[in-house]
Amino acid sequence: MKNEKYPDVDDLVPHKPPMILIDRVLACNLENLSLKAEFRVTEESMFYDELHAGVPAWVGLEYMAQAIAALYGLQGRERGLEKPKIGFILGARSYQNKVDYYKKGTDYSVEIESLFYDEALASVLCMIREQEGGICATAEINVFSPEDPLRFLQEGKRDG
């Protein structure tokens, strides 16, 4: 089910299938830099564990990171950027997980809100909820999105 109000996720994040894990953007507010996305766990989901009929909880950080990428992808579109910028996770604080697996056949929402943002750095409060509203995971994720990510990586190789 596509949300016609927002572009496809693969147009908003710098990932390619099968690494695109969130399904769609449900809501976005560019004034307060918040977003709500959704994903459904299926047997075709990346990282699906057949034995446990779900996706391991540690993948929650990537669901959160992709929601952040989608938010800044939408912001970039507003500014006229054609392609989403590459960003890097600097770290996660206060990651709390209340599930062992995201279960097959269940819809989840990823809700994020920027606590701090400038052109290259952001701190984002993230939460994953079950469709019934129960909280599965929370974290504060810090991200870095340099103006020229490829040059940044090459400089890191040279200096490292």
pLDDT attached to residue 150: 81
Structure tokens that stand for 14 in this block: 């710098």
CB 61 within 8 A of CB 128: no
User: 18: cis peptide before it, omega within 30°?
Assistant: yes
Look at residue 3 and tell me whether its pLDDT is greater than 70. Answer: no
Domain made up of 9-159: CATH architecture: Roll (3.10)
pLDDT attached to residue 83: 87
pTM, entire model: 0.93
Cα-flanking dihedrals φ and ψ of residue 137, to 5°? -160, 150
pLDDT attached to residue 81: 86
pLDDT attached to residue 2: 61
Percent over 70 (pLDDT), the chain: 96
Assign 1 a pLDDT band (cuts: 50, 70, 90): low
Question: What does the pLDDT look like over 61-71, one tens digit per residue?
Answer: 999 999 999 99
